[in-house]
Structure 1
């Protein structure tokens, strides 16, 4: 007799819920924050923020890094620094968090939603070619779930059209492409440090670049449009004159407390990646031979960061809907997620009448919508234990076996 799912009255795999995400906080982290609170005279952006920027730049191999209050803020100032303005078109993936495309709207530019590779969730270079017009100025390349996008063909397209390239690495901590950290191949790369991204301080972002002029623009837009280097002032009014507003910027600064926690967390950056990879390998081994699921894929030159583990259900082999499957996992005390509803189907984008939505024919991104209808994202984070990973496998296999159609 098949093992009865908890949702139908059976015994759950776990007694307590395994959350989809959870930060990994150590005594070292707590002590770093405590020392900052006890020793600082000013908790706004200062010495520790600069230390964080230098540490992260060295970690990923970039010349410059600019810390921001969030990954979304980082994406916004990246487009500002790139000079993207009204009615200019920006190629974006349809399968991402709305923050990726909202930054385009902040600049009064036009997000051009583009379809994905149905196996990876990342931008399809052929679809990008199809969506380009003479108004295209930029491309945001999102690394879905920490799985590197096909950067080489995408960059070839961008360079041929002189497009700005911003790598959206907000869910790609630890991912690499062609031997180097993602975020390095484009003009800028944007990282996020929310609780879902391994190293975290609650909310933070970092923009990396190798171009000094771009760095100066990023730093200014992050700090209310202020320039703080006296050598760049237009005039000197006195020793009290320590900042000069030279453009319209935003208060996207990080605090010293956040920087202290994130500096401490970055000491375990590679360990966090190794832990996520180990959990993913457990999932890979357990699910590799099944016909009812499709496992994650990535380019040959890519090394995933394993921000989460997207499984595509082959629903033709299952007597269950995706929605019921996720509910059944929750009943087993395993929290799963769906990443993501295609952005143009979000209510706001429907209300503004985006052309990708109001089409005469079918959706311009049918593969993204099909992917969304099949994907179940399993938890992968450094605070998980070996038993946690084993419980996830036990619950997934239990449900797949129970709901399997006869061969």
Structure 2
């Protein structure tokens, strides 16, 4: 089976993890700060806070922005459920903004219209989660301008996008957002097995997330309510969580970051080959905005349904049966049973639904060989053979 995504582990990665296993620290040692500094330095952010998952990092980001009961979090319906669930964890309500039909990201025009209506109804969002789907950044400048006009905070869910750029600058520098979140899951561009990271340029937000990721406990006297009893003393000053990253994960991340630029460059080579190889097939290949340099976590095609007689399901099953591990990213969040129970209508976001009915993610990972890619395309041709009108 050729998977849709796969980690790339080198001997250097293995050696880095083994070194930690033989050290004095398996957690709360020097590797996590090293990894944080490495990522922050790479993207140009002031602070980076590693967590045990991107989901945890999203939760911390929402808490730091003081999202709570009675507040609204808005995001895109075409994302993994964590982008929306992080608002529910805080007791907030969640709503969605339909996608741009070319980038598949949250549409700024739809956002502007929805914000104006929400202003009249006194239900403006407190937080917007802008998801960089497939690694291509949202139109962050337009979204940021709307945030200044309507007063909401911005989290960039850049789980797909480390190594990508927006307007020539690395995604993660938080120029147009309060907090950016990366994911280091095994299928992502770089991996720490499981893991995530929140980046920010705000002293206040960084301090808040740092406190909450480790039980709300501090040893900083400036945060304590009284003089410490001695050098052993700590205080729990808030209700936090155990969202820490281990030294093993961080060591793997440090090693992986050395190859980040090469990883993304290879993904772009593969995307260009896909574009050429698929040019004559009844599929729509990904469109890239001129302002973006995608991390290319995913390569999503859309079936041109008016030109084929087979269904998306038939094409998908045929590919899987032939050893091509395609996937679909994503099932619209508002169609999930948990969200349906909140009253969301399936067709409330028509662009998202049109995308969902046509989308298939082809294998995309830096270790994918040209021969494997040729096999993917040949198998896709067979799956579509005889289906053209």
- TM over 0.5: same fold? yes
Q: Per-residue displacement from partner, 1:316-346 (whole Å, max 9, x unpaired)?
A: 1012000010111112211100011111111
Distance in 1 (alpha carbons) for counterparts of 2:332 and 2:225: 46
1:145 matched to 2:134:
yes
TM-score (norm 2): 0.94
Among residues 231, 247, 250, which one is paired with 1:240 in the alignment? 231
Q: What is the deviation of 1:402? A: 3.7
Q: Please report the RMSD computed on the Cα atoms of aligned residues, expressed in angstroms.
A: 1.5
Q: What is the deviation of 1:288? A: 2.9
Among residues 259, 277, 289, which one is paired with 2:250 in the alignment? 259
Task: Tell me if the contact between 2:71 and 2:92 (Cα under 8 Å) persists in the aligned partners.
Answer: yes
1:208 matched to 2:191:
no
Among residues 117, 131, 138, which one is paired with 2:100 in the alignment? 117
Q: What is the deviation of 1:289? A: 4.4
Please, which moves more after superposition, 112-121 or 88-97?
112-121
1:371 matched to 2:355:
yes
Among residues 386, 389, 398, which one is paired with 2:370 in the alignment? 386
1:227 matched to 2:218:
yes
Task: Tell me if the contact between 1:148 and 1:298 (Cα under 8 Å) persists in the aligned partners.
Answer: no
- Which secondary structure state, in structure 1, belongs to the residue aligned with residue 302 of structure 2? strand
Distance in 1 (alpha carbons) for counterparts of 2:15 and 2:99: 44
Q: What is the deviation of 1:251? A: 0.6
Q: What is the deviation of 1:117? A: 1.1
Query: Where do 1:8-407 residues align within 5 Å?
Result: 17-40=1-24, 42-132=25-115, 133=118, 134-135=122-123, 136-183=125-172, 184=174, 185-290=176-281, 292-350=282-340, 353-357=341-345, 363-405=347-389
Q: 1:243 to 1:279 in 2, by over 3 A?
A: farther
Distance in 1 (alpha carbons) for counterparts of 2:233 and 2:186: 35
Distance in 2 (alpha carbons) for counterparts of 1:337 and 1:279: 17
Q: What is the deviation of 1:394? A: 2.0
Task: Tell me if the contact between 1:149 and 1:298 (Cα under 8 Å) persists in the aligned partners.
Answer: no
Distance in 1 (alpha carbons) for counterparts of 2:321 and 2:258: 36
Q: What is the deviation of 1:182? A: 1.9
Q: What is the deviation of 1:348? A: 1.6
- Which secondary structure state, in structure 2, belongs to the residue aligned with residue 261 of structure 1? helix
Distance in 2 (alpha carbons) for counterparts of 1:394 and 1:45: 49
Q: 1:192 to 1:289 in 2, by over 3 A?
A: same
TM-score (norm 1): 0.90
Q: What is the deviation of 1:191? A: 0.3
Distance in 1 (alpha carbons) for counterparts of 2:187 and 2:149: 35
Per the alignment, residue 12 of structure 1 pairs with: none
Distance in 1 (alpha carbons) for counterparts of 2:138 and 2:375: 30
Task: Tell me if the contact between 1:150 and 1:299 (Cα under 8 Å) persists in the aligned partners.
Answer: no
Q: Which segments of 5 or more consecutive residues in structure 1 lack a partner in the other structure?
A: 1-16
- Which secondary structure state, in structure 1, belongs to the residue aligned with residue 95 of structure 2? strand
Q: What is the deviation of 1:279? A: 1.0
Q: What is the deviation of 1:247? A: 1.3
Q: Per-residue displacement from partner, 1:76-125 (whole Å, max 9, x unpaired)?
A: 00010011111211111011101110000001111111111122211111
Task: Tell me if the contact between 2:154 and 2:177 (Cα under 8 Å) persists in the aligned partners.
Answer: yes
Distance in 1 (alpha carbons) for counterparts of 2:64 and 2:189: 27
- Which secondary structure state, in structure 1, belongs to the residue aligned with residue 187 of structure 2? helix
Matched residue count: 381
